[in-house]
Amino acid sequence: MTAHRPATLLFLLVAALGLAACEKPKPQAAAVGTGPTEQEMEFNDRKESLLQQLATCESGSWGPQPQPIYGGRGAYHGRFQFTLRTFMTYTRMRDGTVITSKEAAEYTQDYYKAASLTWYMIYELNEPWHWPLCSRKLGIPNQLKMIRAISG
């Protein structure tokens, strides 16, 4: 009887594995996408509106600013009036991407790339002070408080 024990155990193991393989997988419930809530949509709309206001204030218009504006600290580029050094530094801080001065000059002219970096600087780092005049003019610190109040 002891000679049959390993063979019996092997047979039972193979049978158990075979039955497990034959089982139908249990149906899984499909995930239902609910989408953003009304509160989340208002939250993001206010954030985007603030960026548009800032771009208009900084550049004096909604359109592209192909020529830099020269100020006390050098040349300011694009609708958000970045210095190339600031754009390069915060791009690296945000996601580790190292860009050249030429790339920074190009990216400052792309509203969506510049707005994305501005979003990071204002909403994730809480640094609206990079735009001192327009921050005061638009009341950005107070707008940020209202936006945060909406988010809960």
Residue 76, token pair as written in the block:
């300011």
- State the residue range of the domain holding 141: 36-151
pLDDT tens, residue by residue, 20-73: 455 555 555 555 667 888 888 888 899 999 999 999 999 887 566 678 888 888
Residue 9 lies in a domain: no
- Cα separation of 134 and 116, whole Å? 18
Residue 12, token pair as written in the block:
């039972």
Number of domains in the chain: 1
Residue 133 lies in a domain: yes
Residue 8 lies in a domain: no
Residue 120 lies in a domain: yes
Residue 147 lies in a domain: yes
CA angle (12 as vertex; 6, 14 as ends), nearest 5: 100
Residue 3 lies in a domain: no
Residue 26 lies in a domain: no
Residue 22 lies in a domain: no
pLDDT tens, residue by residue, 10-35: 555 455 555 445 555 555 555 566 78
